[in-house]
Structure 1
Amino acid sequence: MSRRPRPKQARGASVVGRRHEVEVGPVAHGGHCVARVPVADGTRVVFVRHALPGERVVVELTEGTEGDRFWRGDAVEVLAASPNRIDAPCPYAGPGLCGGCDFQHVSLDAQRRLKADVVREQLARLAGIDLSVDVEPVPGDADGLGWRTRQRYVDLGGGRRGMRKHRSHEVVPVDRCLIEAHRGPSHEVRGHAFQVADDGFWQVHPGAPEALVGAVLDALAALPGESALDLYAGVGLFSRFLLDAVGPQGRVVAVEGDRRASELSLTNCPGIEATSGDVDAVLAAAYPESFDLVVLDPPRVGAKRAVEQVVARRPRAVAYVACDPAALARDVAIFAEHGYRLTDLRAFDLFPMTHHVECVARLGRT
């Protein structure tokens, strides 16, 4: 679950292992908080894991050289704790241990407030929008544990397994992961069964499909006879329910880059039109007509290149499902340049104990 660092050129002596006592500042996108340490030319930003805003901690630097613009570190000692700090339920969570979870040391309610702060800050900084954000739990989530229906381990041989440290190739042996579910994913949503390839994409939180379908349908309020364009459609989760909403006189077109998923969407959603291919390339070559509704559910990088193609179809409403708040905020700003404004946003805690958050944004023509 943790990302590995990209190799970079050293800019002076390494600072790894140095310790500083710091006051922890606000949460930042990525599962860490911002702190500053004094250096010869002023201060240096440190992105600190395992800390909380307002705490006083000893941070041990884990990445960086003297010439870098920022450093990374771990809170290895808490001198003044936040009231939102708890003992991590997982014995493998903490400095120098498994990198899969960012917020095991934070109460569940506070985790959601931190995620809301990140979404709000990204919208303000990148889209110029001041918006109140509430991160909602999803159906079936009680304690933030036991939700991950698909999990990957590092095989250590001899029946042993492990998880990687944060931004590292190093492996921590583990007996079990507390966020792993004891069951596989269910591919049934609101009475409809979906076929998914063994290695195909499906939401890992069992409550996610229901939450996202409900939010998308509420955002679009599809009417009988309308036309809908479902982009990055996967196996047709949203197409299936849009098809029900627009009825036999309506039209649903699904575009998906993965050929097998696109084929399955035809099975899962009898009556849709499905095209496999790069979304931007497909829209540049096909379906130039207007559509009433558009669903965007892009990968983490967002839908920057698709925005102009979407607005060219002049939909009355767009539902944008986003797993990265920074990409969402950037794309919302691009939509605004074309006369579409953010009219509603819901955020969901699909990945408890991690910094990840899912948003469903509604954009409408001004």
Structure 2
Amino acid sequence: MTEHAEPADWTGRRFEVTAGPVAHGGHCVARVSGRVVFVRHALPSERVLAEVTEDHGGSYCRADAVRVLAAAPDRVDPPCPVARPGGCGGCDWQHASAAAQRELKAVVVAEQLRRLAGLEWPVRVEPLPGGVLGWRTRVRLVVDGHGRPGFRAHRSHRVVPVPGGCPITVPGALDGVLAGTWRPGAELEVVRDAAGEVHVTELPPARDRRARPRRVAGSDVVTERAAGREWRLATHGFWQVHPAAADTLAAVVGEWAAAPGGGVAWDLYGGVGLFAAVLADQVGADGSVLVVEASRRAVADGAANLADLPQVRFATGPVDRVLARPDLAGERPDVVVLDPPRKGAGRAVVGAIAGRAPARVVYVACDPAALARDVALFAGHGYALTAVRAFDAFPMTHHVESVALLAPSPDVN
């Protein structure tokens, strides 16, 4: 009987490889001696020298392209000096042109739909206004042992200082932060809101459980604008980080939801009610919009912001538990909008939505794998994907925002 030895730990080894197709997560796939190597800082078809950075055994390991031997036509010089192997882990595609970044993301979304949902679907990732730099309005930094703020390296706790700033962050947001010296181990949350005010909070090191967050600049309430409204919400509550994303997504949701006048709409994982505001305008005073959100602070902010819309009501709690409440058993929404966290909605929530038989489901997704898994779950309940739009709401990174429209399949009686 022949025993198969586990592969040796390749960490630190270098190989010349040809980078294959892009994979979800900001890397390309290569193969060495029968193993998959996920290579960051490469582009498809490039010949690179790859150094293994992480190997836990099994069928794959991770590597960085430490030298480019034959560059792809879409390769560019990264605008940030720490966007390199061993540097900041925040950006994945600074070495690719803007058009190439969007194409890579489109390939990933289409591949996830094909692999996880069994669908061949053409995808185009649309740019948002403003270009690929200077867009990020919400940033979290970490402080190293010398009191210098920076960002973590890829899949590491190591802090990479950024004394020259962060080119994807909105101009001016980090000026005062990077000039200061901070408590080692602390984290810094920085927000520049739509009014141009910068809000900075110092979060204590995890080891210091008795310390409280310290407000350094600004206040605990920010001002944002979207969907024709001004929003006041908790400084570090959820809001889209790209200044054009909230308006863009609200417009697509409104177009595809098309809630009828006097109808019923649900906004699940609704946050402060951005999409609920759009749905409320559609159903009118005689209609009803239910927002379900787990964060109590978000619900309080949403209720205050939408106090002029009595047709909107909020329910606090996990979506699966709220939808199982007896008082909602008889409610039949005409349309459901959901914007779940990165892990997706999952079997229970998809089943609860499909069981109410809405005419349309509008799904907003920040993770293409989760979207594809949930699309497959909806298909099991007789709902078919009818449209997809994707947006480059996180330029220079592998992240992409998608919106999908589902409706009962005509093949289902």
Amino acid at match of 1:45: V
- Offset, 1:122: 0.3
The reply to whether residue 115 of structure 1 matches residue 157 of structure 2 is no
List runs of 5+ in structure 1 lacking aligned partners.
1-10
Letter matched to residue 334 of structure 1 = L
Distance 2:317 2:125 in 1: 33
Runs of 4+ in 1 over 3 A off after TM superposition: 156-159
1:105 aligns with 2:95: yes
CA deviation vs aligned residue, 1:252-306 (integer Å, no higher than 9, x gap): 0100000111122112223211110011000011422211010110000000131
1:331 CA displacement: 0.4
Partner residue, 1:333: 376
1:158 Cα shift?
A: 6.4
Listed as ranges, the matches of 1:304-323 within 5 Å are 304=346, 305-323=348-366
The alignment partner of 2:160 has SS state of: strand
Structure 1 residue 188 displacement after superposition: 1.0
- Give the equivalent residue in structure 1 for 2:62: 72
- Matching residue within 235, 252, 255 for 1:198: 235
User: Structure 2: how far apart are the matches of 1:322 and 1:73?
Assistant: 28
**1:164 equivalenced with 2:152 (yes/no):** yes
Structure 2 residue aligned with 1:297, among 339, 352, 369?
339
**Secondary structure of the residue that 2:297 maps to in structure 1?**
helix
Question: What amino acid is the match of 2:65?
Answer: A
In the other structure, the counterpart of 2:21 is 26
Residues in 2 aligned to 1:15 and 1:302: alpha-carbon distance in whole angstroms = 34
* 1:223 shift after superposition: 2.2
In structure 1, C-alpha distance between the alignment counterparts of 2:385 and 2:362, rounded to whole Å: 10
Structure 2 unaligned segments of length 5 or more: list them: 1-5, 174-191, 195-223
CA RMSD of aligned residues (A): 1.3
Distance 2:147 2:61 in 1: 37
Q: Is 2:99 the counterpart of 1:56?
A: no
Q: Which amino acid aligns with 2:141?
A: Y
Partner residue, 2:386: 343
* Distance in 1 separating the partners of 2:44 and 2:236: 39
- Contact 2:14 / 2:51 at 8 angstroms: preserved in 1? yes
SS at match of 1:280: helix
Question: Residues 195 and 235 of structure 1 are in contact (CA less than 8 Å); yes or no, is this contact kept in structure 2?
Answer: no
Query: What code does the residue aligned with 2:151 have?
Result: M
1:210 counterpart (247, 255, 258): 247
Indicate yes or no: 2:193 matched with 1:185.
Answer: yes
3-state SS, counterpart of residue 139 of structure 2: coil
Q: Which moved more, 1:158-167 or 1:280-289?
A: 158-167
Q: Contact 2:227 / 2:278 at 8 angstroms: preserved in 1? A: no
Higher RCO structure (Cα 8 Å, ≥6 apart): 1
Query: Quick one: which of 327, 351, 354 aligns to 2:397?
Result: 354
| Contact in 2 for aligned 1:153/1:162 (Cα 8 Å) | yes
Question: What is the alpha-carbon distance in structure 2 between the residues aligned to residue 339 and residue 205 of structure 1?
Answer: 35
Q: How many aligned positions are there?
A: 349
Deviations 1:89-122 (A, max 9, x none): 1011010111110000000000000000000000
Per-residue deviation, 1:14: 2.3
Q: Helix, strand or coil: the match of 2:238? A: coil
Given that 1:185 and 1:204 are in contact with CA atoms closer than 8 Å, whether structure 2 keeps it comes out as no
- Partner SS state of residue 248, structure 1: coil
* In structure 2, distance between residues paired with 1:181 and 1:31: 23
Structure 2 equivalent of residue 279 of structure 1? 319
Residue 194 (structure 1) shift: 1.3
Distance 2:227 2:363 in 1: 21
1:153 aligns to what?
Answer: 141
Could you tell me which of 212, 236, 258 is aligned with 1:221?
Answer: 258
8 Å Cα contact 1:28/1:118 also seen in 2: yes
Assess if the C-alpha contact under 8 Å between 2:394 and 2:400 holds in 1. yes
**Residue 159 of structure 1, CA deviation:** 6.0
Match of 2:32 among 37, 53, 57: 37
Within-5 A mapping of 1:224-235: 224-235=261-272
Aligned-partner Cα distance in 2 for 1:321–1:199: 21
